[in-house]
């Protein structure tokens, strides 16, 4: 029988900002429990994580893909290409490093699945998203295969509820803005192919979505481990951010009243139309509330600088009611007492960070799982307002007022704080996510003896 430190796990993160930190938090935790962990990164989007995680081993596979490939292919096609290019490279790597006992891979880089099968290695899939998202992909594929999916132009049909998938409408299913439906189905078939694995790990918690976690367990007939929110487990290191965090926004927050400020950020991928940014700016001016707005470089289509924003907006910022940064220390911002609400695109990490800070949200989903997450936030946990349709300044102003000032927002904040407490309890010793992590460790031990 091998000692725990002799069990060598290879972990393969998807090379995207919304995916790497959660897997690294898991890797760090497993390493703290004694496993020997090797992280296999792609050369594409390579980031040197070794200084932040000195106890882990790092390897790179040379996929030869670049940012310009991503731009020319589009995200969806790029992911399909990345997977086909990396499969033989990982096989070569594992043939050389033949002491590997177990593989954990992100669901979007599914290339280790076939390699592990060929080499007879046990494996598990890691989902950085909600269990509801995993199920929603299958619902989408099923409806598409049966020809039941309304076309994207059929607005009224898209408003209808998906049969037996409460509380989601057809428009909430995770279609993509980054490629065709046909190619998306190919991607989702691969992402959802999990049955031969030894388990599914979700960065989620039983206290958030126990029914979807049970559905996942029934569907794939393997153990499901909801071990999140992973950022709440004390890990040895934390991932370096995509951009430099502008910490001076925390000083600005210090000057604001408790629960008064709205924090706006759309994650690492979403792109905003110029007109939307303009309406957002004017809505924030009209709301009369303090605002902290992350405008990621290049995230407004066709605009390199912020000069196009109106004079009134700039004046509001100059007077100190608003603060604009390129990238914020988001987790710290959300924990700040001055932040009363979070305007977000509903990336799963942002949702978890908002929940774990007890901050209610305004959801404006763009693509993929974000619609599913928005529905969870607004209709299951009821800690968010959902914004739909064209963004206008009046809508922005009203949404901010509803969340920060009105009684409705106060009620959402109370529910958000209740949810935060449940999530905190789940990561404590004896809590559901903590216990799930322990079960995961036992499962890996039993499969690698
Ligand atoms: C992507 C997908 O778009 C999303 O739908 C999926 O759920 C995860 O992968 P992304 O769009 O980047 O993620 O959003 P999100 O999941 O919210 O992750 C963004 C991360 O960047 C968060 O951890 C957030 O804390 C961090 N961030 C964002 C900052 O640290 N500073 C910022 O200013 C903005």
Q: What is the β-pairing status of strands 102-106 and 57-61?
A: unpaired
Residue with the two structure tokens 């969806």 = 76
Q: Ligand 1, atom 29: nearest CA belongs to which residue?
A: 330
State whether residue 75 is helix, strand or coil: helix
Does ligand 1 come within 6 angstroms of the Cβ of 269?
yes
Does ligand 1 come within 6 angstroms of the Cβ of 17?
yes
What whole-number distance in Å separates Cα of residue 354 and Cα of residue 377? 10
Element (H, E) at 421: helix 407-427
Ligand 1 centroid–CA 324 distance in Å is 18
Question: Which of 45, 268, 359, 364 has most ligand 1 atoms within 8 Å of CB, for mutation?
Answer: 268
- 448 with 101: CB under 8 angstroms? yes
Does ligand 1 come within 6 angstroms of the Cβ of 328?
yes
Does ligand 1 come within 6 angstroms of the Cβ of 296?
no
Which residue blocks in 35-74 are alpha helix, DSSP H? 67-73
What whole-number distance in Å separates Cα of residue 342 and Cα of residue 398? 14
- 54 with 160: CB under 8 angstroms? no
Question: Which of 326, 330, 349, 352 has most ligand 1 atoms within 8 Å of CB, for mutation?
Answer: 349
Q: Is the complex ipTM higher than 0.90? A: yes
Measured at the alpha carbon of residue 115, what is the angle toward residues 18 and 203, in degrees to the nearest 5?
30
pLDDT for 247-302, tens place per residue?
999 999 999 999 999 999 999 989 999 999 999 999 999 999 999 999 999 999 99
Rg (alpha carbons) of the chain, rounded to whole number: 22
Report the percentage of the chain scoring pLDDT > 70.
Answer: 99
Q: Ligand 1, atom 4: nearest CA belongs to which residue?
A: 347
- Close Cβ partners of 367 (under 8 Å, ≥ 6 residues apart): 175, 176, 177, 178, 270
What whole-number distance in Å separates Cα of residue 388 and Cα of residue 240? 33
pLDDT for 235 equals 59
pLDDT for 178 equals 81
Does ligand 1 come within 6 angstroms of the Cβ of 241?
yes
Does ligand 1 come within 6 angstroms of the Cβ of 83?
no
Instruction: Kindly indicate the confidence band of residue 236, based on its pLDDT and cuts at 50, 70 and 90.
Output: low
Does ligand 1 come within 6 angstroms of the Cβ of 265?
yes
Measured at the alpha carbon of residue 299, what is the angle toward residues 387 and 64, in degrees to the nearest 5?
125
Does ligand 1 come within 6 angstroms of the Cβ of 15?
no
Atom number, ligand 1, closest to the C-alpha of residue 269: 11
Choose among 361, 366, 374: nearest CA to 402. Answer: 361
pLDDT for 237 equals 64
pLDDT for 438 equals 97
**Interior/surface letters 211-242, b for 16+ CB within 10 angstroms, e for the rest:** ebbebbeebbebbbbbbbbbbbbebebebeeb
pLDDT for 329-366, tens place per residue?
999 999 999 999 999 999 999 999 999 999 999 999 99
Q: Ligand 1, atom 25: nearest CA belongs to which residue?
A: 330
Measured at the alpha carbon of residue 407, what is the angle toward residues 403 and 413, in degrees to the nearest 5?
55
For 157, other C-beta atoms within 10 Å of its C-beta total: 13
Residue 91 has pLDDT above 70, yes or no: yes
- pTM summary value: 0.96
What is the spatial order of strands in the sheet that 200-202 belongs to?
Answer: 57-61, 36-42, 8-12, 102-106, 123-127, 200-202, 224-226
Question: Encoding tokens for residue 345?
Answer: 């695109």
What whole-number distance in Å separates Cα of residue 366 and Cα of residue 271? 9
Does ligand 1 come within 6 angstroms of the Cβ of 129?
yes
Element (H, E) at 436: helix 432-447
Atom number, ligand 1, closest to the C-alpha of residue 350: 17
């Amino acid at each position: 029988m091998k000692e725990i430190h002799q069990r060598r796990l290879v972990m393969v993160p998807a090379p995207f900002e919304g995916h790497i930190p959660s897997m690294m938090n898991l890797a760090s935790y497993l390493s703290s429990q004694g496993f020997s962990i090797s992280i296999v990164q792609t050369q594409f989007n390579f980031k040197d994580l070794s200084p932040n995680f000195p106890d882990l081993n790092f390897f790179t596979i040379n996929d030869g893909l670049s940012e310009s490939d991503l731009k020319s292919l589009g995200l969806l096609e790029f992911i399909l290409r990345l997977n086909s290019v990396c499969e033989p490279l990982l096989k070569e790597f594992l043939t050389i490093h033949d002491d590997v006992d177990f593989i954990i891979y992100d669901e979007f880089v599914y290339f280790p699945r076939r390699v592990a099968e060929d080499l007879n290695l046990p494996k598990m899939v890691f989902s950085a998203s909600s269990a509801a998202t995993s199920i929603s992909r299958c619902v989408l594929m099923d409806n598409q295969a049966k020809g039941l999916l309304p076309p994207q132009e059929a607005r009224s049909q898209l408003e209808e509820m998906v049969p037996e998938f409460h509380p989601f409408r057809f428009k909430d299913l995770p279609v993509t803005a980054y490629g065709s439906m046909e190619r998306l189905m190919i991607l989702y078939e691969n992402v959802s192919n999990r049955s031969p694995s030894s388990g599914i790990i979700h960065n989620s918690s039983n206290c958030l979505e126990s029914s979807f976690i049970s559905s996942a367990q029934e569907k794939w007939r393997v153990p499901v481990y909801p071990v999140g929110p992973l950022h709440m487990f004390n890990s040895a290191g934390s991932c370096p951010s995509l951009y430099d965090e502008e910490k001076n926004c925390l000083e600005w927050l210090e000057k604001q009243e408790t629960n008064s400020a709205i924090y706006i950020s759309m994650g690492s991928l979403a792109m905003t139309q110029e007109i939307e940014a303009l309406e957002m700016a004017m809505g924030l001016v009209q709301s009369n509330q303090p605002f902290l707005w992350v405008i990621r470089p290049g995230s407004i289509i066709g605009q390199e600088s912020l000069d196009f924003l109106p004079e009134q907006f700039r004046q509001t910022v100059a007077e100190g009611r608003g603060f604009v940064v390129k990238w914020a220390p988001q987790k710290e911002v959300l924990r700040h007492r001055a932040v009363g609400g979070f305007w977000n695109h509903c990336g799963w990490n942002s949702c978890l960070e908002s929940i774990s800070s007890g901050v209610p949200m305004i959801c404006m989903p763009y693509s993929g799982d974000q619609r599913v997450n928005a529905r969870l936030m607004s209709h299951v946990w009821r800690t968010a307002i959902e914004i739909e349709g064209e963004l206008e300044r009046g809508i922005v102003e009203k949404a901010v007022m509803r969340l920060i000032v009105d009684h409705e927002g106060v009620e959402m904040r109370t529910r958000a704080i209740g949810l935060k407490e449940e999530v905190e309890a789940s990561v404590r010793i004896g809590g559901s996510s903590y216990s799930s992590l322990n079960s995961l460790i036992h499962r890996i031990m039993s499969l690698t003896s």
